[in-house]
Amino acid sequence: MDRDATGETPSVLCPQQAAGLPKNLSFWIKDREENGMSNLFNKRDVEQIEARGMTLEKAVSQIESLRRGLPHARLHQPCTVGDGITVIEKRGLEKLAEIYSQASLSGRTSKFVPASGAASRMFQTLISLRDRPELMSGFAAADKAGPENRSLVQFFSGIKRFAFYDDLKSVMSKGGLDIEGLIAKGRHTEILEYLLTGKGLNYGKLPKGLIRFHRYPDHCRTPIDEQLVEAAATVQDKNGVARVHFTVSPEHKEAVESHVEMARSRYEKARLKFEIGVSIQKPSTDTLAVDLDNRPFRDRKGKLVFRPGGHGALLENLNDLGGDIVFIKNIDNVVPDRLKEETTIYKKALGGFLVELQREIFGYLKRLSMTGVSERDLAEAFEFASCKLSIAPPDGFDRRSVEERTKFLFAKLNRPLRVCGVVRALGEPGGGPFWVGQGSEATSSQIVESSQVDMESAEQRAIWTSSTHFNPVDLVCGLRDYLGEPFDLVHITDPEAGFISIKSVDGRQLKALELPGLWNGAMARWNTIFIEVPLVTFNPVKTVFDLLQEVHQDN
């Protein structure tokens, strides 16, 4: 029998030991043995799997998903205004905002911010050009030669407009360098070294949440700062407490926590206190990689290779909070104070829409939970579910008993609720709102990412490209049931809504499994409402050049 790179004989998943494993694993082992794929794990593998908080069964399930493949989403048509997307008239904004404010003051609301994104993506163009001397000197005269030259010209001609400029100038001055003099002499590489590496600001290694985005008269703000200021305006309760939770990468947790404490001291006031949480993506949510033959992928030391499961893994972080009404917004989608009023009113309107709809849902659930539900009660509840939540009964449903119909409708209504802001499509990468078929279930409205769509199908590609709106990750979620108990979010996902990608490690290709995304597959079995919001609410910073746009410039 072959030995692996650790020198051990793979022996855990073999027929002789199948009796001690769950039945589904035993069947899997039998199937793998018949196909020459048994003996996949050794004792050290099991120890490695369990040390991550995973189970052997979960690891095997991931291999099965990678071997079998995941189905594509079945798009029926895009959601459009009047067909899946609601538009709130301006006169209704203030009323909804007032409804929301009552819920916020009662302490029901909080904010959840995925903030693990690395700033290296923001600075990728500058990082790739830093070591190219032929471009780094004399490029000003050749600014029309190509996009690379134009990027450098754009950066250095606008360098004083960045909120981090003063910090960069200061750290270079301590090194005896004059930033303006270096620019005049065409010594641009040294400036990028101080910007991107540990020699200076180290922006190429920091999380995006710690990059200075906006300049104010007496200070500069990072995205974390702006998220806290926005939280003060949207989720503060009657006691002045605003609850915010950031999810970050393990290597950045300490730096983020340190920054949060400094930010707290700046923005907290006599009647404002922040309750701030910081967590990391759990190792147990990473996924096991396989080679192209669907065997566990190993590094040069023979250890199993696990990869982050994507933002869908953050569902467990969200679930652990046990929140009630929770806003979800990406770390880089922030605006300076002069634009916050309009974005805030729409945040509150989304929250008010959810609170009002949730109140109706809870009323029907309480009636359906009682004994002796009448045909009239059931008909009224079905009309509400159909009109407000697009819930459709299966074929032949009217021939079922009252008890069966009541049970069906109760289960459909008793789900987490999300109200999603969507903006007019701008050609941005990412997901959008669609009517989607889910197996044998009726069509439902979903956020769908391009990776879920069969782009080889002309029909599906045409539906995808005909979408009129985009998901900017602007959500408010109702995470408790009609009795006030938190839903178990981890067990309401669509496990088939993830996707498989091909990666490379040590020059070898592997297959990686990404979990159902936080705002698509992880929430696919929630009740979903789409609300059109204006473009001013969507101002992400994907590259450093976005900070030069007027919206992100000085207040």
Q: Indicate the range of 83-87, 102-106, 396-400, 525-529 predicted with least confidence.
A: 396-400
pLDDT at residue 86, rounded to an integer: 96
Q: Is 50 exceeded by the pLDDT of residue 455?
A: yes
Average pLDDT value for the chain: 88
Instruction: Tally Cβ neighbours within 10 Å of residue 3.
Output: 11
Domain boundary among 196, 213, 233: 196
Q: What is the DSSP string of 358-393?
A: HHHHHHHHHHHTSSS--HHHHHHHHHHHHHHH---P
Q: Model confidence over 284-313: pLDDT tens digits? A: 999 999 999 999 999 999 999 999 998 999
Q: How confident is the model at residue 186 (pLDDT cuts 50, 70, 90)?
A: confident
Q: Is 50 exceeded by the pLDDT of residue 205?
A: yes
Q: Is residue 238 part of a domain?
A: no
**552: number of CA atoms within 13 Å, CB side?**
26
Domain boundary among 160, 181, 196: 196
Q: Model confidence over 37-49: pLDDT tens digits? A: 446 788 899 999 9
Supply the DSSP symbol for 109. Answer: E
Residue 215 contacts residue 163 (beta carbons within 8 Å): yes
Torsion region of 313: left, alpha or beta (phi above 0 gives left; psi -120 to 50 gives alpha): alpha
Q: Is 70 exceeded by the pLDDT of residue 502?
A: yes
Q: Is residue 487 part of a domain?
A: no
Distance (Å, whole) CA 542 – CA 171: 25
pLDDT at residue 509, rounded to an integer: 95
Of the ranges 115-129, 147-161, 255-269, which is most confident? Answer: 255-269
Q: Domain total for the chain?
A: 2
pLDDT at residue 187, rounded to an integer: 85
CA distance to 54, 74, 264, per residue, from 440 (Å): 31, 12, 50
pLDDT at residue 170, rounded to an integer: 96
Q: Is residue 536 part of a domain?
A: no
Q: Model confidence over 96-137: pLDDT tens digits? A: 999 999 999 999 999 999 999 889 999 998 988 877 766 666
CA distance to 171, 176, 548, per residue, from 194 (Å): 8, 12, 20
Domain boundary among 152, 178, 196: 196
Q: How confident is the model at residue 16 (pLDDT cuts 50, 70, 90)?
A: very low
Q: How confident is the model at residue 440 (pLDDT cuts 50, 70, 90)?
A: low
pLDDT at residue 129, rounded to an integer: 81
Q: How confident is the model at residue 431 (pLDDT cuts 50, 70, 90)?
A: confident
End-to-end alpha-carbon separation of the chain, Å?
Answer: 70
For 324-329, what is the mean pLDDT? Answer: 97
pLDDT at residue 6, rounded to an integer: 41
Q: Model confidence over 21-30: pLDDT tens digits? A: 444 444 444 4
For 363-373, what is the mean pLDDT? Answer: 94
Q: Is residue 136 part of a domain?
A: yes
The amino acid present at 221, given as its one-letter code, is R
Degrees to nearest 5, angle at CA 450 with 444 and 453:
65
Q: Which domain holds residue 179?
A: 124-196
Among the listed residues 117, 68, 118, 59, the one whose alpha carbon sits nearest the alpha carbon of residue 305: 59
Q: Model confidence over 80-92: pLDDT tens digits? A: 999 999 999 988 9
